Structure 1
Amino acid sequence: MIPLQDILPRRNPPVMTWFLILLNTLVFFYELSLSTVEREVFFKTWGFIPAIFFDPYFNFLVGFPWYHKFLTLFTHLFIHGGWLHFIGNMWTLWIFGDNVEDRLGPFKFLFFYLVCGILATMLHSFIYPNSVIPLVGASGAISGVMGAYFLLYPLARILVVFPVLFIPLFFEVPAFIFLGLWFLLQFYNGLFSLVLPESFGGVAWFAHIGGFLAGALLYKIFCKRKCRFYRDEYTFFGSFFDIDKP
């Protein structure tokens, strides 16, 4: 299932979501301006490498200053490895970010986004502490947004497309089903990647898992409004929706 949009109104323009998409876009087009060698250096310099963070000797061999590894906790969240990686992440952020930002407020949303991204990276690094492969992408932070959406708006309708024999089928599913299935897919892929790294490698599954769990556990800390349930015609079952009315 490929998500196309959520059918959920918002009260305020998602300025921070727009800003994050713009910043990621500027960085990505800068990457495209680099040669292949320069791009590889860029990834290794500003991507997050677990071994640099957790192996002092490797960090010494690489020669970066002590503060550089902390900078890459943030910088790697704005780097992407290709068009599919970039478009998939930005599309997902656009679908789920605006409503979560609406609930948290723009600046709390930014802080929440970064915290989820860092915690996602930490879980990935805990699983692969000696990895020298740069971790890049906003997936961990966006997974945190999805985790918050999962609990804030469980009955929101998500319009998805499902190709069957090259025929696209369009239908709506409640958010808790779509995001729940998405999380289970990340979880099982993460487990299989431990035993079959050749088949399931190349994707930071545990960053997705860590980000989603971080978002689901921490969103209430950042929530600027008390979460209450109201009736709303936009719910999947026409029953209850976790949204404040103006």
Structure 2
Amino acid sequence: MVIPVHDVNPVRRTPWVTYALIAANVVVFLRMPVVASSLTGSVPLGQLCDLQAFVQHWGAVPRELLEGWRPRLVPTGVVAVGPGGAGCLLGPPSYSKTPVLSVLTAMFVHGSWLHLLGNMLFLWIFGDNVEDRFGRVRFLLFYLVCGYAAAYGFAAVDPGSTQPLIGASGAIAGVLGAYLVLYPRVRVWGLVPALFFLPLRLPAWLVLGSWFVLQAFFSAGYGTTQAGTVAYVAHVVGFAVGALLALPLRAAAPPARRPRRAR
């Protein structure tokens, strides 16, 4: 596994859509419950209940996506104390939810600082060049299509799941797939944890190809104990869809270069 920190790949124009997506994800996260506490890892039960209610409301639930299923009871954000101790109170949903739109809202919801920063790092490094090649409007549509494909792909594999999917990982995986197709030989600076975080300048096909193989390996349930909490299948589907959508652009001649903008 390589942690990318910079790619040697100038862009022709300011990637405003990439910047706007990053800003939107950060703003939504800052308005979520448990933001301050998630830095320390110590989360009061009341805030944890608020977070569960928030995620249930705005996350994408596979069973809702495919079956139109509606839960009878959901977390209400209220702490209840019973014979078994304190817990989150369940109650009938106080909101109406459109499953297809929940995929869109789920793309901007993250469960922790680590979840958010990891996703935004990859979008920051690789999103600008993909946006540069697609164009701003087509890039935004591409990003959303990859996110939807990832969510519904995961739901197809686990249609009975009632655990909400959250995060931009599926859409960003699509960006990575497109980058691999469009710029396989571009050099990427990355840190290699196995080599004590030694910085190395590696080709994109190695950095992103190894990432995809690792996600596929994890999605099969090998090598990780988090297969039930991380939607690796969504990463695999998003990456594959992004790569396929980028193939026509790879076949076409790249646009003429304008004066390069340093990053």
Report whether the alignment pairs 1:49 with 2:61. Answer: yes
Distance 2:121 2:224 in 1: 27
Residues 1:126 and 2:168 are matched in the alignment: no
1:93 paired residue number: 123
Residues 1:8 and 2:6 are matched in the alignment: no
Residue type at the aligned position of 1:163 = P
One-letter identity of the residue aligned with 1:212:
F
Distance 1:139 1:208, change over 3 A: same
Residue 231 of structure 1 corresponds to which residue in structure 2? none
**TM-score normalised over the length of structure 1:** 0.84
Matched position secondary structure for 1:200: coil
TM-score by length of structure 2 reads: 0.79
Out of 78, 100, 110, the position equivalent to 1:80 is 110
8 A contact 1:112–1:219 mirrored in 2:
no
Q: Relative to structure 1, is the Cα distance of residues 181 and 108 closer, same or farther in structure 2, using a 3 angstrom cutoff?
A: same
Given the alignment, which residue of 41, 45, 48 partners 1:36? 48
Query: Matches of 2:251 and 2:157 in 1, distance apart?
Result: 36
Distance 2:58 2:197 in 1: 39
Match of residue 200, structure 1, among 214, 227, 240: 227
Larger gyration radius, structure 1 or structure 2: 2
Q: Distance in 2 between matches of 1:20 and 1:131?
A: 28
Distance apart, 1:33 and its partner CA = 6.0
Unaligned runs of 5+ in 2: 36-46, 74-92, 259-263
Separation in 2, partners of 1:123, 1:102: 27
Partner of residue 227, structure 1: 252
Q: Which moved more, 1:184-193 or 1:43-52?
A: 184-193
For the aligned residue pairs, the C-alpha RMSD in angstroms reads 2.3
Q: Is the aligned partner of 1:156 residue 2:186?
A: yes
5+ long unaligned stretches in structure 1: 229-241
Number of aligned residue pairs: give it.
Answer: 226
User: Identical aligned pairs, as a percentage?
Assistant: 40
Structure with the higher helix share, 1 or 2: 1
Q: Distance in 1 between matches of 2:255 and 2:8?
A: 13
More deviation, 196-205/107-116: 196-205
- Where does residue 215 of structure 1 map in the other structure? 242
**What amino acid is aligned across from residue 24 of structure 2 in structure 1?**
L
| CA distance in structure 1 between the aligned counterparts of 2:208 and 2:230, rounded to whole angstroms | 18
Aligned counterpart for 1:171 among listed residues 181, 184, 200: 200
Structure 2 Cα separation of the partners of residues 243 and 169 of structure 1: 35
